[in-house]
Amino acid sequence: MADIQSGGIRIQNLYKIFGPRAASYVDAVKNGLSKADLLKQSGHVLGLRDINLDIPAGSIQVIMGLSGSGKSTLIRHINRLIDPTAGEVLIGGVDVCRMKFRDLREFRRRQTAMVFQKFALLPHRNVLDNVIYGLEVCGVGRKESVGTAMGWIERVGLKGFEERYPNQLSGGMQQRVGLARALSMDAPVLLMDEAYSALDPLIRMDMQTVLLDLQKEIRKTIVFITHDLDEALRLGDQIAILRDGCMVQQGTKQDIVLRPADEYVTNFVKQVNRGRVVSVDGVMSPLRAGVAAAGRHVAADTTIEDAISVLTRDSGNDHLIVVGEGSRPLGTVSLRQLACALITPDEAADAARVPVDDRAAVYAPAEASRG
């Protein structure tokens, strides 16, 4: 049985073609046959093309893209709700795609849990009985199941609602039930497919906060699907962007925002408030050997916005010392570096084309639009 605690998730050379003779078209797709041409020639649909993704254990991996990009198809390969046409999905070093039925059933029960966009609650069961459903399937006794479920019901903020039925709850409360049900299984892998997309913006942000707070303690390997960039940037330790079944870019939120792989990603991130997303370790200069680290210290995960605030309050310094764990100096960052990181390449190009005295007019509207 795969043990996710001993490693993360590794997806290698994954292809998915939908159609009765899918396997016969893999080589053609590998040789460059496009999604449109595949459909035109064969009536088959290309879902995923050569996906390679490493997800460290205990991290939140966000997979994002527009509708039809393949993100939901990809997440369903992790627990093999969809069989690949070619490729591997390794969980703790074991290929899920090669598991026998009995092992796969146990893997789904013990190693993964899923939170759905549509909540998927059983309407005839109250909150408590919805949360214990998975434990019942696994043969856990009623007393133990209730104890576990009540603990998670309280953790997600639903204490006192355990006797209510789904139709008596708001959408946000129903999604908390779904989250509690998944967490009660204590599975190391949590799959969340557009889990918050049906929620109102304020409730959605509240649920994001719940997940981030819980993750600090439970350290699950979470694969989170979304089409919302703000949600991806807030939740993801890593972000993978899909387009038409292909992986366009994978990296940290700083990689995505500061170094977009192509015009498609650039268009995704151009309205992002960089000051609130990018941290100082993404723009700092590494310390040179033998140079003393003198100056005001800030943590490596300090945002550009907060770092600028520190520097502007401390008129005696023009730079900050960036420190990591144990206050170990990592590098330095200047006010100029921080300011330049706020400017997109397009804005920098626009500024370069106008006289120096007029550049404030270029930068000011851009900064104002970021809020």
Domains of the chain listed by start with CATH number: 4-111+187-269 (3.40.50.300), 273-371 (3.90.1280.20)
- What are the phi and psi torsion angles at 243 (to 5°)? -145, 120
Which residues have CB under 8 Å from 135's CB, separation 6+? 144, 145, 148, 149, 184, 185
pLDDT > 60? residue 371: no
More confident residue, 166 or 295: 166
Residue 360 has a pLDDT of 46
Question: How far is residue 7 CA from its own chain's centroid?
Answer: 18
Strand-pair partners of 61: 223, 238
Q: Give me Rg for the CA atoms of the chain.
A: 24
Question: Residue range 328-346: average pLDDT?
Answer: 85
Strand ordering across the sheet containing 9-18: 94-95, 86-91, 9-18, 45-55, 246-251, 238-243, 60-64, 221-226, 189-193, 112-116
Residue 327 has a pLDDT of 85
Whether 244 contacts 311, CB under 8 Å: no
Residue 120 has a pLDDT of 84
User: What is the per-residue pLDDT across 38-83, written as a single tens digit (0 to 9) for each?
Assistant: 999 999 999 999 999 999 999 999 999 988 899 999 999 999 999 9
Question: Residue range 187-215: average pLDDT?
Answer: 91
**What is the reported pTM?**
0.85
Question: Residue range 292-298: average pLDDT?
Answer: 79
Whether 112 contacts 79, CB under 8 Å: yes
**Rounded CA separation 11/19 (Å):** 22
Residue 347 has a pLDDT of 60
**Rounded CA separation 2/112 (Å):** 11
Question: Residue range 280-306: average pLDDT?
Answer: 84
The closest alpha carbon to 79, from 116, 26, 127, belongs to 116
Q: How confident is the model at residue 313 (pLDDT cuts 50, 70, 90)?
A: confident
Q: How confident is the model at residue 302 (pLDDT cuts 50, 70, 90)?
A: very high
**Rounded CA separation 79/166 (Å):** 26
Average pLDDT of the chain, as a whole number: 88
The closest alpha carbon to 182, from 162, 206, 153, belongs to 153
pLDDT > 80? residue 114: yes
Question: Residue range 328-332: average pLDDT?
Answer: 90
Residue 314 has a pLDDT of 74
pLDDT > 60? residue 171: yes
More confident residue, 64 or 361: 64
User: What is the per-residue pLDDT across 22-44, written as a single tens digit (0 to 9) for each?
Assistant: 999 999 999 999 999 999 999 99
Q: How confident is the model at residue 235 (pLDDT cuts 50, 70, 90)?
A: very high
Residue 271 has a pLDDT of 85
Interior angle at CA 55, CA 51 and CA 57, nearest 5: 155
Question: Residue range 283-287: average pLDDT?
Answer: 89
**Rounded CA separation 334/307 (Å):** 10
Strand pairing category for 112-116 and 94-95: unpaired
Whether 109 contacts 100, CB under 8 Å: no
Q: How confident is the model at residue 369 (pLDDT cuts 50, 70, 90)?
A: very low
Question: How far is residue 130 CA from its own chain's centroid?
Answer: 26
What string of DSSP letters covers 12-58? EEEEEEESTTGGGGHHHHHTT--HHHHHHHHS-EEEEEEEEEEE-TT
pLDDT > 70? residue 212: yes
Please report, rounded to a whole number, the percentage of residues in the chain having pLDDT higher than 90. Answer: 66
Single-letter amino acid code for the residue at 222: I
Which 3 state secondary structure label does DSSP give 59? coil
User: CA dihedral in degrees (325, 328, 330, 334; nearest 10)?
Assistant: 100
Question: Residue range 325-335: average pLDDT?
Answer: 89
Question: How far is residue 83 CA from its own chain's centroid?
Answer: 23
Residue 367 has a pLDDT of 44
Q: How confident is the model at residue 368 (pLDDT cuts 50, 70, 90)?
A: very low
User: CA dihedral in degrees (333, 336, 338, 339; nearest 10)?
Assistant: 180
Q: How confident is the model at residue 84 (pLDDT cuts 50, 70, 90)?
A: very high
Please report, rounded to a whole number, the percentage of residues in the chain having pLDDT higher than 70. Answer: 89
Element (H, E) at 63: strand 60-64
The closest alpha carbon to 162, from 133, 125, 120, belongs to 125
Question: Residue range 193-203: average pLDDT?
Answer: 88
